[in-house]
């Protein structure tokens, strides 16, 4: 079975639609979402509703989503992020807010686990280093732990004693999921990539082929930028999106 794994939509409807269209083309109909539907972008309500309607194997709370259940989280954001988040909050329906507040921070099963940040700190901590793979190794179940939050597509492969890190720099990369190894995989960000590539970033977990495929897909960025300008979102967020940051 092919399962779509994606993260960090950040209210970018055009990027999400391009991602879902590619999934449809690839024959993907089940999904795992690693959190952060709102913040930064201009279409929080439409993005929440689209994600809510998907057949989700798992869907977790991101740090931007968490402001409804942990208001103190806002103090951790910079001025531009707080500005966009406050605008997003004003346009969300009660139904969408209930969906976000009902999400778990961490999902784990015998096959896979999901956290926005890390198993140790599912909402706030950025997972970037080898030593974090080792320290988090006993804290999750299954062969794979899917994460988001960093907006960078990468994987960590290893055991309780060793870890190899691989960063995806291509538009289409497939990695094997080897017996005897465990993996932490970040599919990158759909709505706000931060690796100097503006194309939306996501992945496909093939449970029969035992592979994970990193994908990139272009979208109509100009439409998103125009919406952000019309809504008066911070110029820094607009310019950073054009740079893939």
- In this predicted model, what pLDDT tens digit does every residue of 2-12 receive, in sequence order? 999 999 999 99
Tell me whether residue 82 is exposed, middle or buried, using C-beta atoms within 10 angstroms of its C-beta: 0 to 12, 13 to 18, 19 or more: middle
How many angstroms separate the Cα of 80 from the Cα of each of 55, 108, 187? 33, 33, 25
Domain ranges of the chain: 2-242
Check pLDDT > 90 for residue 174: yes
b/e sequence 100-109, b meaning 16+ C-beta within 10 Å: beebebbbbe
pLDDT digits (tens, 9 = 90+) for 204-236: 999 999 999 999 999 999 999 999 999 999 999
Beta strand spans in the chain (E):
2-6, 30-33, 56-59, 106-108, 112-115, 144-146, 153-158, 163-167, 172-176, 182-187, 200-206, 211-217
- Assign residue 56 a region: left if phi > 0, alpha if psi is -120 to 50, beta otherwise? beta
Please, what's the largest Cα pairwise distance for the chain? Answer: 52
Which of 18-27, 84-93, 156-165, 203-212 is the least confident region?
84-93
pLDDT of residue 59: 98
Tell me the C-alpha distance between 163 and 136, whole Å. Answer: 12
Determine the 3-state secondary structure of 175 from DSSP. strand
In this prediction, residue 10 carries a pLDDT of 98
pLDDT of residue 68: 85
Using the structure block, give the residue that is written with the tokens 């706030």.
124
Output the CATH code of domain 2-242: 3.60.21.10
| pTM for the structure as a whole | 0.96
Q: Is the pLDDT of residue 96 over 90?
A: yes
Burial call 120-152: b when 16+ CB within 10 Å, e when fewer: eebbebbbbeeebbbebbeebbebbbbbbbbbb
């Amino acid at each position: 079975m092919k399962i779509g794994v994606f993260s960090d939509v950040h209210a970018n409807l055009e990027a999400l639609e391009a991602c879902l269209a590619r999934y449809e083309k690839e024959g993907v109909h089940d999904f795992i979402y690693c959190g952060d539907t709102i913040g930064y972008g201009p279409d929080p309500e439409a993005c929440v509703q689209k994600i809510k309607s998907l057949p989700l194997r798992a869907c977790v709370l991101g740090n931007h989503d968490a402001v409804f259940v942990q208001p103190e989280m806002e103090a951790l954001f910079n001025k531009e992020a707080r500005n966009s988040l406050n605008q997003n909050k004003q346009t969300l329906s009660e139904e969408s807010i209930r969906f976000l507040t009902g999400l778990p921070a961490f999902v784990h099963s015998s096959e896979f686990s999901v956290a926005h940040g890390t198993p140790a700190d599912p909402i706030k901590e950025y997972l970037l280093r080898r030593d974090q793979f080792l320290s988090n190794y006993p804290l999750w179940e299954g062969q794979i732990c899917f994460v988001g939050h960093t907006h960078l597509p990468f994987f960590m492969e290893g055991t309780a004693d060793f870890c190899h890190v691989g960063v995806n720099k291509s538009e289409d990369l497939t990695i094997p999921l080897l017996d005897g190894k465990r993996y932490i995989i970040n599919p990158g960000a759909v709505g706000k990539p931060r690796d100097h590539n503006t194309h939306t970033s996501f992945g496909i977990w093939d449970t029969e082929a035992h592979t994970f495929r990193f994908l990139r897909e272009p979208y109509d960025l100009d439409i998103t930028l125009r919406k952000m300008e019309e809504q008066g979102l911070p110029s820094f967020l607009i310019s950073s999106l054009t740079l893939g940051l």
